[in-house]
Structure 1
């Protein structure tokens, strides 16, 4: 499961990396949380556009928005089959820019958060899906992140990880490629530049959103700065 992530890369660097034709104003986010709006990249009229969508998928056929909090993630192994995701997987894929994500490792009766990123805080994208729900007063656009088995290097932290796309070629395949090529991207990130480190438990509180959340703690340091754990959200679908 992925329930928190960061996106702090400068907008111009994101525009170049993702070849976006138009950008939105972005401020650094160190603790992006479910049900908040976040930047996503979609193909429209043959060009890539960056838009703000709410994190937590609401399928177009859903009678209401109540399932959004439970559909922040989708299992890549079954995404082509499950009713909540299959239509979006076929027709509405997106890139979700990020430069790190957080997972919680069970330790005794508590949990220790870790930040997982690429060396140099290099930006990348999560493989995402988006939907437009139009049964309310106004249309609501939402997205979800796809997950896969964790790479062995971080499986001791959590057994799942988001699908990471790190190159322009992968971006193009995910947005516009053939089905077989897209499916091949739904795997653990296995490149050598994957890094991880324990971080402050302050990240468990959505009200905390500052650069200190990204700072690595010494592995021998006891992170005693208590804060609420993130709510149990995700998807088993």
Structure 2
């Protein structure tokens, strides 16, 4: 499970990558004036990229800000009444779970990021004490590799207490790869039992193809095998 991530670049630092693949990108809204060191957390608005025509993603994509924590189209009550934890979608059941099966079939997305955060319990940890905070990133192979993408899903709901439609997203997690499943040297425990699915842009365009490989594209938790784990204490992050 991933419930915190970073995007430490502006839109203009990576949107040109789409043109290199001959994919037009249009931004549907203005970029927020947000500190680059402020992490994204559930219910925050964050950047989401989707196909203009889901039947032909290569014809063009649209970027916009949307709510992280998917609220499905069938929810009609107040926003606060949707209690299901839909920040992540399980790879194993993404095509059968009620909240995700229609977005999986029709509404896939890419969520750009530059690192993500996981927590574990340090040696001697006691309940109530802060957990250890880890940042997972990679050494970019080239300039186009500074940003990668979560395999996401989106939906639009009309909650009773929301002014207009609410577009929201989630992204897919699955069984862990070696980085997450190998016991830590100092604790003897793995970092986490789940791992978010990370794609390059080329892989991401394949994910957006509704008639493509779908969830089979996400079976490998570490397709590049080059994730880097380092401590990232909370005090290093922007808070305003």
Asked if TM exceeds 0.5, the reply is: yes
Instruction: State the distance in 1 between where 2:100 and 2:233 align.
Output: 34
- Unpaired runs of at least 5, structure 1: 211-237
2:175 maps to what in 1? 149
Query: How many Å separate the matches in 1 of 2:84 and 2:68?
Result: 8
Over 6 Å off, 4+ runs: none
Question: Alignment partner for residue 34 of structure 1, among 26, 35, 42?
Answer: 42
What CA distance in whole angstroms lies between the structure 2 residues aligned with 1:74 and 1:135? Answer: 21
Provide the secondary structure at the position in 2 that maps to 1:209: coil
Higher strand share: 1
Matched, 1:173 2:206: yes
Gaps of 5+ in 2: 54-58, 182-189
Give the total of aligned pairs: 204
Query: For 1:71-220, what aligned pairs fall within 5 Å after superposition?
Result: 71-107=86-122, 108-109=125-126, 110=129, 111-120=131-140, 122-136=146-160, 137-155=163-181, 156-168=190-202, 170-179=203-212, 181-187=213-219, 188-202=221-235, 208-209=237-238
How far did residue 12 of structure 1 move? 1.9
Q: Measured at CA, do residues 8 and 174 of structure 1 come closer, stay the same or move farther in structure 2, by a change above 3 Å?
A: same
Relative to the length of structure 2, the TM-score reads 0.77
Relative to 1, partners in 2 of residues 1:3 and 1:202: Cα closer, same or farther, differing over 3 Å?
farther
CA distance in 2, matches of 1:30, 1:182: 32
Q: Deviations over 1:56-96 (max 9, x none)?
A: 11011113323267211110110001101000000000000
